[in-house]
């Protein structure tokens, strides 16, 4: 199967190539696409060297699927061009997520809603993916009423420039090309993406809007505080979730143990709880620190950690392609 990866040289794009190879996705011809200045640059995939190609060349090759992680502007402009030649686009930017005609997919939750008409599919925001994957079966059992979430997000969510800033500051140098308006080392920034008129950042509002769309329930109330921290391995989230129905903690543990893609790490007596260093490079969403909120009935506290480049982006996108292949929605 011809597969295009648009944004192939970025942090997420590189992870997408890694995941496609690790999961033996049936790639017969890879079309790595990056900026014009990268055309001709060589990349290695499954032991074979490929040259980066232009967007036009990739479209002309009519790949079965094009997985994008190249920013919203490029997706808005180029995804329809691929779709016009019959390519299925799976886009990791925010460009299509809230478009009512496009599906926003976490395969374990709603891949079954995909149809042959879906030619552009949106990959949710990393901080949303790990939260809804941890909560969706609890929602099915106890109906979520309200979520209060604080995130602790890795600099890899911003990209290579932010990783470089952290490493330079960590080495005692001033950042040569800072990604953030303030130092990130030994600091935290309650500022991810731009501020909206309501005082929330776009990252925080993504968690509100995308959660309601993915779980198919806009009565779910969500409020978020998204924070950048000097960490590499993944995003962490402290989630307080109020349900409509009463729950037993044992039932919550059972449901989480049986939730596809979730790994329970919860034994505080042995200092066992999810941490970014343990999530790094894994596809599982780690959950732990489960405890009843003793200040309010029908409410649970849960700590959720995941590698934002993997299940938060690359792996989720490749799993969408795998699900479509299985459903006969991708033609070789
Ligand atoms: C971030 N979730 O962490 C956003 C985009 N990757 O910066």
Share of the chain above pLDDT 90, in %: 99
Q: Rounded mean pLDDT of 255-259?
A: 98
Residues 6+ positions from 30 with CB-CB distance below 8 Å: 3, 4, 5, 17, 45, 48, 50
Laid out side by side, the sheet with 235-243 consists of 221-228, 144-153, 235-243, 299-306, 285-292, 262-264
In a domain, 135, yes or no: yes
pLDDT in tens, 282-323: 999 999 999 999 999 999 999 999 999 999 999 999 999 999
Q: 282 is written with which tokens?
A: 């894994």
What pLDDT shows up at residue 331?
A: 80
Output the six-digit token pair for 85: 């030649």
Q: Give the Å distance between the CA of 316 and the centre of ligand 1.
A: 15
Closest-CA residue, ligand 1 atom 5, reads 157
- Whether 331 maps to a domain, the answer reads no
Q: Is 13 annotated as a binding residue?
A: no
Is 280 one of the annotated active-site residues of the chain?
no
Q: How confident is the model at residue 144 (pLDDT cuts 50, 70, 90)?
A: very high
Of 136, 139, 235, 280, the catalytic one is 235
**Which residue's C-alpha comes closest to atom 4 of ligand 1?**
157
Q: Residue 332 pLDDT more than 70?
A: no
Assess whether 90 and 209 both reside in one domain.
Answer: no
Q: Measured between alpha carbons, how far apart are the two ends of the chain, in Å?
A: 5
Question: How sure is the predictor about 229, in pLDDT bands with cuts at 50, 70 and 90?
Answer: very high
The residues with which 48 forms a beta bridge, in sequence order, are: 45
Q: Which residues line ligand 1 (CB under 6 A)?
A: 125-127, 153, 157-158, 192, 203, 308
Determine if residue 154 is labeled as part of a ligand binding site. Answer: no
Are residues 61 and 89 both part of a single domain? yes
**Is residue 211 pLDDT above 80, yes or no?**
yes
Same domain, 232 and 317: no
**Residue 83: which domain range?**
2-123+313-326
In this prediction the pTM is 0.98
Is residue 319 a contact partner of residue 261, using CB atoms and an 8 Å limit? no
Q: Tell which atom from ligand 1 comes closest to the C-alpha of 206.
A: 2
Mutate to test the pocket of ligand 1, among 127, 130, 166, 236 (most ligand atoms within 8 A of CB): 127
How high is the pLDDT of residue 236? 99
Sign of the alpha-carbon dihedral angle for 249, 254, 255, 261: positive
> Is 196 part of a structural domain of the chain?
yes
Count of domains for the chain: 2
Determine the average pLDDT of the residues in 16-29: 97
Asked if residue 190 belongs to a known ligand binding site, the reply is: no
């Amino acid at each position: 199967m011809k597969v295009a990866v648009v944004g192939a040289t970025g942090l997420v794009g590189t992870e997408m190539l890694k995941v496609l190879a690790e999961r033996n996705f049936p790639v017969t011809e890879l079309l790595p696409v990056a900026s014009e200045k990268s055309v001709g640059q060589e990349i290695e995939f499954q032991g074979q060297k490929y040259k980066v190609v232009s967007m036009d060349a990739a479209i002309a090759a009519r790949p079965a699927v094009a997985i994008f992680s190249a920013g919203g502007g490029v997706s808005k402009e180029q995804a329809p061009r691929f779709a016009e030649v019959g390519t299925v686009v799976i886009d990791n930017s925010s460009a299509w997520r809230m478009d009512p005609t496009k599906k926003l997919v976490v395969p374990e939750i709603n891949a079954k809603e995909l149809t042959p008409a879906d030619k552009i599919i949106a990959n949710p925001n990393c901080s949303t993916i790990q939260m809804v994957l941890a909560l969706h079966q609890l929602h099915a059992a106890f109906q979520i009423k309200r979520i209060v979430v604080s995130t602790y997000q890795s600099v890899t969510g911003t990209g290579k420039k932010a990783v470089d800033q952290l490493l330079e500051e960590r080495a005692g140098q001033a950042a040569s090309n800072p990604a953030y308006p303030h130092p990130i080392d030994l600091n935290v920034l309650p500022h991810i993406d731009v501020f909206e008129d309501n005082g929330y950042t776009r990252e925080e509002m993504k968690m509100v809007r995308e959660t309601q769309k993915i779980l198919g329930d806009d009565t779910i109330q969500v409020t978020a505080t998204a924070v950048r921290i000097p960490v590499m391995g993944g995003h962490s989230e402290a989630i307080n979730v109020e349900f409509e129905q009463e729950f037993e903690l044992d039932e919550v543990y059972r449901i989480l143990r049986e939730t596809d893609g979730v790994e329970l790490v919860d034994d505080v007596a042995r200092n066992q709880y999810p941490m970014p260093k343990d999530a790094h490079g894994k596809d599982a969403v780690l959950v732990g620190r489960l405890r009843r909120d003793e200040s309010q009935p029908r409410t649970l506290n849960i700590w959720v950690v995941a590698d934002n480049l993997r299940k938060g982006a690359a792996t989720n996108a490749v799993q969408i392609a795998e699900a479509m292949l299985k459903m006969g929605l991708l033609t070789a």
